[in-house]
Structure 1
Amino acid sequence: MAQLVWDPNKDAQAILADYYQRGFGPAAGPVREYYEALEKARMAFTAKNLDGGVFLFPELYTPELLRESQGRLDRAAAAVPAGSVYQRRVAFVQVGLDYTRLIMENVTLMGRYWKKKDESVAKQVRDNWAAIDKLINTTPYAINVGPVRPITPRMAGLHPDYPPAKVKKARAVDLDLN
């Protein structure tokens, strides 16, 4: 984006190709596929779900999308030399997918938990949050930790100690129809 702000006549695809090649070397192709597939899925999801909240995310981050994403990162990891900067960068990207997988499991578990509280479900969710904390502590810049803690409004309902926020139903008078 900075390069396009500096010179809007630059070729955006060339800028991206340069970024992936310089950043990921022999893993450039699979890493680019990884991000582009996630972006395509996100765009399709947001076209239909502007105000859905976190409990709709399994419609976006489906088991199939997560499996395909992992396959792309597996190919990327296999393409880079051990101990290289490229290997560390692919591992950094992997943290985001690991986080997403844990959050999607929590979304599913907590969706059931709020209908019928079950201590075994609560334990698994707490274990997942502990795994997320470990990801954050070992790779602090891979996850934007501020809004993704269980106490934040964005994560409301994804921890047994922090129930979902009560949402009032919109009334016609509350809607901006202009």
Structure 2
Amino acid sequence: MHKLAVYCGANAGQDPAYAEATILLGKTMAERNVDLVYGGGRLGLMGIIADTVLEHGGQVHGVIPEMLKDLEVAHRGVTELHIVANMHERKAKMTDLTDAFVALPGGVGTMDELFEAWSWNALGYHNKPFAILNIAGYWDAMIVFLDKMTEQGFVSADRRKQLIISDNIADCLDRLAAACTTEAGSFTW
């Protein structure tokens, strides 16, 4: 795994554990020579992950829509900043640039990005692994709901197992890296 897309909030959230874990993830990525691919912002967890990777000698590839750049939320200090027309192009470009995806705490945009990566995988647009880094139990309620979707037959057990869930940064990165080296399986909805 050479490049990791990190989906996360443009806010830091209420629990300091979110920022602390984001900093640790950024340091760990830089130590492992894993480039960051992210939404290109300078605010919240997005800014924290970018700043941390850069501070520790890593490479950062931001992808931001023109509208957000014009609102002056773009991070101007990243290694490479791609400016795209809209959110659809942003997600497609991030998918093209990365080897894997991980979601940290975030809002509607973070969920949208995670689920789009998952559904694009299901449809065969890519075979890249994806994960949730469950910091301080942030994603617990959603994980329960995903299990209910599986129990009710809307998501197959195999498809559900594709989503890597971990509360440990090293474990999460190790599992994503291992999944990058395996062939995508044949799954049903």
- Calculate the TM-score normalised by the size of structure 2: 0.26
Question: TM-score, normalization: structure 1?
Answer: 0.27
Kindly indicate which of the two structures has a greater share of residues assigned to helix.
Answer: 1
Greater percentage in strand: 2
